[in-house]
């Protein structure tokens, strides 16, 4: 995205892959919830998380050791101009699907058009900027753009390429348990609906010896097991039914990992530092609901969240709070600090629409003393009164209607449920009645797809090169588009403009300024009650598993674990 790729032409392998890693063995991974579809590219149904990356390939592949750099995968070459007004890909001659048929330009064009028309909303946004698709040769295709967009060639390079012939006479939008035919390293070998999926490494995989793949995808079999909740899943790991466990709670990491398999070396424990942004995790308010359309109300709900108590209760108080969408990086705002002149200039045209603090500084409520939370609740009540709410017989009301709302949660995430339960009790002190509704994964997917919630859990992992995906997360176009990931219903011309500036930026400083400006809009919008984040990943794994010594920039992000791992013979 910026500057030159780190790896030279003719590189042998990715720096975080070991080309000498042995092939073979089995690894079992757990996932909370269930699944009712094997098509991960559509709105309907819930598909296993890694089904797409393990079975379907893209024209180019990302290096996890660089903020945003792609190298050829299905494509042997890529061409674009300085302004990036077009991109042309040339397919590798030997690229083949798992059934032995060649990957063709027709497959590429059909995949891109079908995903844009019938797939998840994230595909349509970028495709709307494609003015023309031109077949330029038997193995090459050119996409010209309606406007320069520095990221768009990379975005198209990461679009999945499906087999057109598989879908002839079928409705692509319908949920199905027929797996997609892809060209990737694995094929779906067994399915127990809702309970497990088994992937088998394709011995005839066309791309096994490409430099971008060398040392990756070493297991013969990967099995994903689904569990109703994380506590049951952890017991399955302890008993040896699962090979890996990523512990998100440092308190549990300190006290729950002294079981026999750890003591005798059958399970290894490791902390892996990462350099990725914090992203955002918390409880998001749906501003499509009238009760949440006032920033003062949203600030009051943030003030009511006793982070110190909750953090101490659940993590031992060791994790830092998320005080920026891009914390743990140089992309985000400094809490409490005023915007630099460059950032202020970007926001100046939208000054009148910005929430308080966007320009002169904003920070989450202080909780650094015994009386701080009591003062936070007093401030919260003052803001609620300003917004027209008042307490009658212990109930917060406005126009005779009580402040009452539902917090929708997916079943299986015990930690989020515990956080929310403590929060609900705190809200009672303001006269607010919040009730928790936990539903299974299918219901949760259906309700969030249609924005049928007042408040719900949000988790947005962000990279060091945020770009087009920000449109899906926060863009006005998706605010009322079912299936978009704009959970808060944010409609902000200022945010749209900052995302556009991020995509236009040619220099790192331009990009950082635009990203900080977006961060200020998001944080001062007060859409989310933020939780905490970890600067390390805590991983427990079976003793015969190994991984390369070089940990990539993005730490244990998907693509590093388990793709680079192997089983010791």
State the Rg of the chain over Cα: 24
- 108-131 b/e (C-beta count within 10 Å ≥ 16 → b): bbbbbebbbebbbbbbbbbbebbe
Whether 119 contacts 42, CB under 8 Å: yes
Question: In sequence order, which residues have a C-beta less than 8 Å from that of residue 105 and are 6 or more positions away?
Answer: 91, 135, 138, 139, 140, 141
Whether 284 contacts 455, CB under 8 Å: yes
Read out DSSP for 157-186? HTSB---GGGGTTS-TTS--SSPP---SSE
- pLDDT of res. 229: 86
Q: Name the residue among 310, 287, 282 with its Cα closest to residue 298.
A: 287
- pLDDT of res. 228: 87
Whether 326 contacts 515, CB under 8 Å: yes
Q: Is 94 exposed, middle or buried (0-12, 13-18, 19+ CB in 10 A)?
A: exposed
pTM of the model: 0.80
In whole angstroms, what is the distance from residue 112 CA to residue 215 CA? 29
In whole angstroms, what is the distance from residue 509 CA to residue 345 CA? 14
In whole angstroms, what is the distance from residue 368 CA to residue 554 CA? 32
Whether 560 contacts 62, CB under 8 Å: no
Q: Name the residue among 65, 89, 66 with its Cα closest to residue 153.
A: 89
Whether 384 contacts 391, CB under 8 Å: no
In whole angstroms, what is the distance from residue 365 CA to residue 335 CA? 11
Angle value at C-alpha 277, between 275 and 280, nearest 5 degrees: 150
Per-residue pLDDT of the chain (569 residues; tens, 9 = 90+): 878 899 999 999 999 999 999 999 999 999 988 999 999 999 999 999 899 999 999 999 999 999 899 999 999 999 999 989 999 999 999 999 999 999 999 999 999 999 999 999 889 988 999 999 999 999 999 999 998 788 999 999 999 999 999 999 999 999 999 999 999 999 999 999 999 999 999 999 999 999 999 999 999 999 999 998 889 999 999 999 999 999 988 989 999 999 999 999 999 999 988 888 999 999 999 999 999 999 999 999 999 999 999 999 999 998 999 999 999 999 999 999 999 999 999 999 999 999 999 999 999 998 877 789 999 999 999 999 999 999 999 999 999 999 999 999 999 888 999 999 999 999 999 999 999 999 998 899 999 999 999 999 999 999 899 988 999 999 999 999 998 999 999 999 999 999 999 988 888 899 999 999 999 999 999 999 999 999 888 999 999 999 998 988 887 666 678 999 999 98
Neighbours of 12 (CB within 10 A): 11
């Amino acid at each position: 995205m910026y500057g030159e790729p780190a790896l030279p032409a003719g590189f042998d392998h990715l720096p975080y892959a070991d080309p000498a890693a042995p092939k073979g063995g089995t690894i079992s991974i757990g996932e909370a919830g269930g699944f009712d579809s094997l098509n991960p590219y559509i709105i309907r149904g819930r598909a296993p998380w890694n089904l797409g990356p393990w079975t379907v390939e893209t024209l180019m592949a990302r290096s996890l050791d660089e903020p945003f750099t792609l190298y050829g995968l299905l494509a042997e070459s890529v061409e674009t101009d300085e302004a990036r007004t077009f991109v042309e890909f040339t397919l590798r001659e030997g690229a083949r699907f798992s059934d032995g048929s060649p990957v063709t330009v027709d497959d590429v064009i059909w995949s891109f058009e079908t995903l844009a028309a019938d797939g998840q909303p994230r595909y349509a946004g970028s495709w709307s900027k494609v003015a023309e698709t031109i077949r330029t040769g038997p193995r090459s295709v050119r996409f010209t753009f309606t406007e320069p967009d520095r990221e768009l060639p990379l975005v198209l390079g990461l679009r999945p390429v499906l087999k057109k012939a598989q879908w002839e006479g079928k409705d692509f939008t319908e949920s199905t348990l027929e797996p997609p035919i892809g060209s990737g390293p694995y094929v779906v070998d067994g399915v127990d609906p809702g309970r497990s999926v088994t992937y088998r490494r394709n011995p005839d995989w066309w791309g096994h010896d490409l430099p971008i793949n060398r040392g990756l995808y070493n297991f013969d079999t990967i099995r994903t097991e689904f569990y109703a909740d994380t506590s049951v899943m952890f017991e399955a790991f302890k008993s040896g039914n699962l090979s890996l466990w990523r512990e998100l709670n440092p308190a549990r990491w300190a006290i729950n990992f002294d079981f026999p398999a750890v003591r005798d070396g059958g399970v290894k424990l490791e902390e892996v530092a990462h350099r990725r942004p914090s992203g955002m995790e918390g409880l998001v308010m749906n501003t499509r609901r009238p009760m949440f359309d006032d920033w003062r109300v949203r600030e009051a709900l943030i003030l009511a969240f006793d982070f110190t108590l909750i953090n101490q209760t659940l993590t031992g108080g060791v994790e830092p709070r998320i005080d920026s969408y891009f914390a743990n990086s140089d992309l985000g705002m400094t809490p409490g600090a005023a915007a630099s002149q460059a950032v202020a200039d970007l926001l100046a045209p939208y000054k009148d629409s910005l929430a308080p603090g966007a320009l002169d500084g904003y920070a989450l409520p202080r909780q650094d003393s015994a009386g701080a939370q009591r003062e936070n609740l007093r401030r919260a009540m003052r803001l609620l009164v300003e917004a027209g709410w008042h307490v009658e017989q212990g109930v917060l009301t406005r126009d005779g209607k009580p402040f009452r709302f539902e917090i929708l949660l997916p079943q299986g995430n015990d930690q989020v449920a515990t956080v929310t339960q403590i929060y609900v009790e705190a809200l009672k002190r303001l006269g607010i009645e919040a009730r928790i509704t936990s539903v299974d994964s299918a219901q949760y997917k259906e309700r969030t797809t249609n924005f049928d919630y007042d408040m719900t859990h949000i988790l947005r992992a962000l990279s060091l090169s945020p770009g087009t995906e920000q449109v899906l997360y926060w863009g006005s176009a998706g605010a009322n588009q079912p299936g978009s990931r704009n959970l808060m219903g944010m409609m902000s011309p200022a945010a749209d403009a900052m995302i556009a500036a991020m995509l236009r930026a040619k220099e790192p400083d331009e990009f950082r300024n635009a990203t900080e400006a977006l961060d200020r809009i998001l944080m001062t919008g007060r859409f989310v009650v933020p939780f905490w984040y970890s600067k390390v990943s805590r991983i427990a794994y079976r003793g015969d598993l190994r991984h390369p010594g070089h940990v990539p920039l993005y730490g244990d992000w998907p693509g590093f674990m388990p793709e680079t791992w192997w089983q010791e013979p």
